[in-house]
Amino acid sequence: MTGSIFTAFMAGLFIFQPQFLRVIELNVFDAVFRLSYDGKVNESVIIVDLDEASLSEFGQWPWPRYRVALMLEKIRRDGAASIALDMVFAELDRTSPYIIQQQLEDELGVSMSFSNLPQGLEDNDQILANILEGGPFTLGFYFDLVRDHVLQPVSNNRAHIHPLRIATVSEPGAPPLSDSLFHAAGITGNIDILSKAVDSSGFMNVAADPDGIIRRVPLLMSYDDNYYPSLALAALLNALGLNQAAVRSSAGGVESIRIGAQTIPLDSRGQLLLNYRGPGKSFPYVSASDILSDRTSQGLFQDKIVFIGTSAAGLKDIRSTPLDNVFPGVEAHATVVDNILTGDFLHRPDWALGTELILILAAGIASTIIIIWLSGLWLVLPLMLCAAGLWFGTMYLFQSQGIYFSPFMPLLTLAGNFSLLTFQNFWIEEKEKRKLQNTFEHYLSPDVVKRVVKNPSLLKLGGDKKNLSILFTDIRSFTNISEAMEPEELVNFMNDYLTAMTEVILKNKGTLDKYMGDAIMAFFGAPEDMPDHARVAQKTAIEMLDRLHECQEKWCIPGQSSIEIGVGISSGEVIVGNMGSAKRFDYTVMGDQVNLASRLEGLTKMYGVKILVSEFTRNQARDDFAYRELDLVRVKGKQKPVAVFEPFRNYHFTQEELAFIAPFEQGLAAYRSQKWEQAISEFQKALTLKPQDYPCLKYIDRCRQMAKSPPGPDWDGVWVMQTK
């Protein structure tokens, strides 16, 4: 009975579609889309970008129209098939000489003339109009929209715009086409001299979903008993030499539009679901400044459909899409043309809603039957198979056919029924866990209690052998810092510092072992398994340094220029578990790698670096970091030497910035071969690439000392650490 009621509730929720549910459904579509898009763009589309570089080189927008005309003429002469302007010239160009002349006379009473200026250059708008008359240009304009055809006072600039001849194919019961499309009550368009100079124009309106993301755009709108194309559709028709299309409608509204041999699936309002090719700048972009300065190659625009728009943030043509929150609006027009030319459409057919409702009912009935007949873990498998079928079925249709239906509500129905069944058992188990936790929290640490509650068998002494990474860190010159502060200040500082460092460790799922004064010990890979613990430990060390840098000003210490820390990391097999006495124990690690990590932290001062890792850590995370080998070290209490390395984030440094590593390691090889002068030469080369590098300076000093007192032929190149 409970399952049936819940299924009926979910079906009703789906039918009435509250706003929050619509937003979730849209996010599910975004997730499916992000997992499916292929990033391939049509080579026939190119974007001319009024980018930051263009504005910097030629001044802020709007530019004088003669400059726009010059740019358009260069593109046209290069052989563009169609050129569309994603902008509106709604006012006269106030930089035209004759307007400046008029303003001076009207406002200041100054009569001024421009000597030797040809008459044809007095009006920038006329210059642009002359260029527009000679090429395959499409101007953009905006429709002033009203909702549900209820007329409201709107602007009505009677700009000259170009309707599209439409042939309609309507099934029985289909509403008039004008009732299905968005209806405009007015126009914000270009000045007459420009709009009358072209033979093609299109609207630039887009329709954002409730969450503000652009997922679809209208290709047609109605206005004054005529139908008008979008800027993208008009530009494509201009390139193809067409001015007509056929629209198919059914009882649910618009189904598709056909231009030439291509049928484009639309939703009931005449909108195309955009198959974005990637985040912003996925299409080829050419800076407007490069065109004006003749820095482009000849034939770049040959037979291309060119859109002129902007990615500059100050011009406010930035949109949000499923793939990018800062997506240049002009690229939406390019995406429309790309989808039509490739025939690679996304479509949500009329039957999708009915299919989703059937799936909700089927999921509710199936899960109810499974829950009644099975129990425990046995019911999880068939429910997971049902959920996987819904998800992978959605992905298959989307990727192979471009058809989308949402699996969200059917999956939610499955999950809801499962939750109702397991709630009672869960509640009972949680009560028992809380009882156990309350009992042991009186004499065990909260972290240990949580692990014991999850697995009571942990409540025993002993440990397991595991491959982990151990991290040690402490503050440099902490004695000087503590002497410079009052006890209360020192306590507050240490609390802030340890809190900040611990947050980084826990964020990366490390286990905090203990605080030792200003030192911190942590490990990665237990109690939860972490296959990439060596990589995560090094990432944590780097993030700790980043956090320290962020807090330098906050933690300003009298007499200290800055706070510095050293971090040592080593990886390998250790014993991890509960160590101590039968009455009091800690969850900790023991083993050689623990001692080695502690020694490496101490060695950071000697080598003047912030992080040192052992060869064992480096070998387990080789591909994720760049490394500089610093030395072969025999730490106190160990006979076998260990290679130590300084890690660098690959994604944070360029190859040029890491170029110093090669001569450094060549110098290290010469040093171990007792070729002191050659080693000094290589270290000095590294210094030219990384000035004041402390390890280079240290090795140069070592080489000079070794040259004076050679170690002999039996020297193995190992540096012996005399202290802990």
Each residue of 664-696: pLDDT tens digit? 999 999 999 999 999 999 999 999 999 999 999
Amino acid identity of 369? I
8 A C-beta contact, residue 232 and residue 85? no
Other Cβ atoms within 10 Å of 182 Cβ, number: 20
> Sorting pLDDT into bands at 50, 70 and 90, what band is 561?
low
3-state secondary structure of 252: coil
Per-residue three-class SS string for 276-324? CCCCCCCCCEEEHHHHHCCCCCCCCCCCCEEEEECCCHHHCCEEEECCE
Each residue of 654-663: pLDDT tens digit? 778 889 999 9
Note the pLDDT of residue 106: 66
| Higher pLDDT among residues 625 and 722, named by residue | 625
Q: How far is CA 343 from CA 84, 411, 516, in A?
A: 21, 31, 65
What are residue 319's DSSP bridge partners? 327
Amino acid identity of 342? T
Q: Rounded mean pLDDT of 506-511?
A: 88
Other Cβ atoms within 10 Å of 435 Cβ, number: 10
Q: Tell me which of 39-53, 73-87, 134-148, 302-316 is least confident.
A: 134-148
The DSSP code for 545 is H
CA distance 563 to 391: 51
CA distance 498 to 519: 9
DSSP symbols for 320-361: EETTEEEEETHHHHHHHHHHHHHT--BB--THHHHHHHHHHH
Q: Tell me which of 39-43, 430-434, 701-705 is least confident.
A: 430-434
Q: Rounded mean pLDDT of 101-123?
A: 65
Closest CA to 227 of 164, 175, 146: 164
> Sorting pLDDT into bands at 50, 70 and 90, what band is 89?
very high
> Sorting pLDDT into bands at 50, 70 and 90, what band is 637?
low
Closest CA to 308 of 326, 275, 333: 333
Each residue of 523-560: pLDDT tens digit? 998 877 889 999 999 999 999 999 998 888 787 766 66
CA distance 567 to 611: 5
Note the pLDDT of residue 634: 87
> Sorting pLDDT into bands at 50, 70 and 90, what band is 571?
very high
CA torsion angle for 397, 403, 407, 408 (degrees, to 10)? 150
What are residue 229's DSSP bridge partners? 220
Geometric angle at alpha carbon 242, from 239 and 245, rounded to 5°: 125
Per-residue three-class SS string for 92-160? CCCCCHHHHHHHHHHHHCCCCCCCCCCHHHCCHHHHHHHHHHCCCEEEEEEEEECHHHCCCCCCCCCCC
3-state secondary structure of 60: coil
DSSP symbols for 626-675: EEEEEEEEE-TT-SS-EEEEEEEETTTS-TTTTTTHHHHHHHHHHHHTT-
CA distance 219 to 154: 22
CA distance 521 to 512: 6
Q: What are phi and psi of 625, to 5 degrees?
A: -140, 155
Q: How far is CA 285 from CA 84, 276, 308, 333, 667, in A?
A: 14, 16, 10, 14, 45
Does 321 score more than 90 pLDDT?
yes
Note the pLDDT of residue 27: 92
Give every CB contact of residue 357 below 8 A, 6+ residues apart in sequence: 11, 14, 15
CA distance 511 to 505: 7
Each residue of 152-192: pLDDT tens digit? 444 444 568 999 999 999 999 899 999 999 999 899 999 99
Note the pLDDT of residue 442: 39
CA distance 211 to 208: 8
What are residue 45's DSSP bridge partners? 305
Other Cβ atoms within 10 Å of 161 Cβ, number: 24
Each residue of 433-456: pLDDT tens digit? 676 566 444 333 455 556 656 666
Note the pLDDT of residue 109: 64
Q: Is 631 exposed, middle or buried (0-12, 13-18, 19+ CB in 10 A)?
A: buried
Q: What are phi and psi of 49, to 5 degrees?
A: -110, 120
Closest CA to 337 of 404, 267, 274, 269: 274
> Can you tell me which residue has the tokens 């299924």?
7
Q: Rounded mean pLDDT of 352-364?
A: 86
CA distance 171 to 653: 62
> Can you tell me which residue has the tokens 């040959």?
302
Share of the chain above pLDDT 90, in %: 53
> Sorting pLDDT into bands at 50, 70 and 90, what band is 135?
confident
Does 276 score more than 90 pLDDT?
yes
CA distance 169 to 333: 26
Geometric angle at alpha carbon 424, from 423 and 426, rounded to 5°: 65
Note the pLDDT of residue 720: 81
Note the pLDDT of residue 486: 84
How many whole angstroms from its chain centre is CA 650?
Answer: 18
Q: Are strands 220-223 and 226-229 parallel, antiparallel or unpaired?
A: antiparallel
Mean pLDDT of the chain: 86
Geometric angle at alpha carbon 703, from 699 and 704, rounded to 5°: 120
What are residue 612's DSSP bridge partners? 568
Note the pLDDT of residue 461: 60
CA distance 259 to 236: 10
Q: Rounded mean pLDDT of 347-364?
A: 86
8 A C-beta contact, residue 167 and residue 246? yes
Geometric angle at alpha carbon 55, from 335 and 115, rounded to 5°: 125
| Higher pLDDT among residues 393 and 452, named by residue | 393
